[in-house]
Structure 1
Amino acid sequence: MVLARFLPRDERFFDYFRQAAENASAVAQALCELLENYRDIEEKARRVRDLERKGDEITHQIFKALYSTFVTPLDREDITDLASKLDDFVDSIEEATRRIRLYHIDQPTEFARHLASIIDQQATLVAKIVPLLENRRHWDKLLQCSIDINRLEGEADDVLDQALASQFDDVHDIDALIKATRWGEIYQQLEDAADCAEDIADTLERIVVKNA
C-alpha cells in the first residue's frame, strides 16, 4: 500500500459528488414547486421520480468507479458513505412526493409547505458545500455551512412537532381520520428527508476532521 501514495488519484469522484448534490437540490426544488403550486400533480411527481432515477444513476457511477479505481482521493468507506447519504436524501423526498400523489391530497398544508421549504434550504446548502470538499482551503466554510444544515434540521423537528400536535384537531368522522393519518405519514417522511440532509452534513464533517 506504500506504493499507492505515489500513484495519481482519480479525482472524478468529486465531480460525481457535485452532480449528485446538484441533483438533490433540483429534487428539493421540485418538491417545493409541487406544494407551492399545487396543480399538474402527476407531471410534477413524475419530474421528482425522474430526478430520483438520475440520482440512482450517479450513485451507480460512483460505485462503479470505486470498483475500478486503485487510488481514491478519499477513503473508500467515506466515498461509499457520502454517496449513500446523498442517495438517501433524494429517496426520502421522492417517497414523500409519491405518497402525496397516491393519497390524492386535495391541498397541501402550511406545515407541509414549511417542511418543504426547510428541505429546499438544506439542499441548497448541500449543493454549495459538497464541491468544497475537493479543496482544503474551503473546509472551514464547509464546516460552517454544515452547522446551518443541522440548525435547519432542528427547525424541521419543531415543525413536525407542531404538525403532529394538531394533526387530529378537526377530525370528526372516518374520512377526516384517514386524511389526518395520511398527513401524519407525509409529515414524517418530509422530516426524514431533513434528517437525511443532516446526515450528509455530518458525513462531510467527519471526512474533513478525518483528513485535516
Structure 2
Amino acid sequence: MFDSKKPDPFFQSLLDIAKNVQTATHYAEDFKVDSVSQLKELSFKLKEFETSGDTLIHELTTKLNTSFMTPIEREDILQLAVKMDDILDGIEHFTAHLEMYSLIEIDDYMRTFVNYIVKCTDEIVKAMELLMKKKLLAMRDHAVLIKDYERKCDDVLRSSIKNLFLHETNPIRIIQFKDLYEQLEDIADYSQSVANTIETIIMRNA
C-alpha cells in the first residue's frame, strides 16, 4: 500500500520526534552532576528539549490538519507522536524534581531505571527508521524489546521501594526517593504505550 521509494513527510516527522526524545534521554543519562548549579543546568537543558518536542508536535498536528491524505490513520500518527512526547515530558519532570530536591547524588536504582528508558528510546528510533522505509512488520521486534525493558523497570520499582523502606530512616528522603522512583516507572509505562501503539499500527496496516 506504500510507495517505498518516496519518503513520507509524516513518517519523517515521527522520526524527528523520536530522535529528539532519544537525544534528551541520552543527555540526561550522560550528564554528570556534582553541584546544585549543575542540576539547574540539567533541568534547563531538558526543558529546552521538551520545548523542541512541543514544537515538533505542533508542526505535525498542523500538517495533519491541512493534509487530505495520510499514509496511515491520522489518529494513529498523532497518538504515536504524543506517546513519544510523553516520555520526554516525563524525563523533564524527573530532572526538574531532582533540581527542586537539590538531589545531587542519585542511587543505582535510578541509574538502572534511566538506562532502561534510554534503551527504550533507542528501540523507538529504530522502529521509526523502519517506518520511514515502510517495513512495518520489522517494527514488531523493537516493540517487543521496549515491553521487555518496561517489565524490567517493574522489577526495579519493587526492589527500590522495598530497599528504601528497609534502610532509609529519614522520612523526607523516603518521600523524595519514592516519588522519583514512581516518576521513572511512569516514564517506562509511557514507553510501553509507544510499543502498544506501534503494534496497533502494524496490525492495521501491514
Fold match by TM threshold 0.5: yes
Matched, 1:188 2:182: yes
CA distance in 1, matches of 2:138, 2:178: 36
Do the aligned partners of 2:7 and 2:132 also contact (CA within 8 Å) in 1? Answer: no
CA distance in 1, matches of 2:139, 2:7: 22
Match of 2:40 in 1: 42
Match of 2:122 in 1: 124
Deviation at 1:134, TM superposition (A): 3.2
Instruction: Calculate percent identity across the aligned residue pairs.
Output: 27
CA distance in 1, matches of 2:172, 2:13: 42
Deviation at 1:131, TM superposition (A): 2.2
> Aligned Cα RMSD in Å?
1.5
Matched, 1:105 2:99: no
The TM-score normalised by the length of structure 1 is: 0.89
| Structure 1 ranges of 4+ moved more than 3 A | none
Which residue, 150, 158, 161 being the options, matches 1:161?
158
CA distance in 1, matches of 2:162, 2:92: 25
Matched, 1:204 2:198: yes
* Largest Rg, 1 or 2: 1
Structure 2: give runs of 5+ residues left out of the alignment.
Answer: 1-5
Matched, 1:11 2:11: no
CA distance in 2, matches of 1:25, 1:78: 21
The TM-score normalised by the length of structure 2 is: 0.91
Match of 1:139 in 2: 136
Which residue, 72, 75, 78 being the options, matches 2:73?
75
Deviation at 1:10, TM superposition (A): 9.4
Deviation at 1:46, TM superposition (A): 1.2
Which residue, 24, 27, 31 being the options, matches 2:24?
27
CA distance in 1, matches of 2:93, 2:13: 23
- Specify the SS of the correspondent of 2:175: helix
Deviation at 1:38, TM superposition (A): 2.1
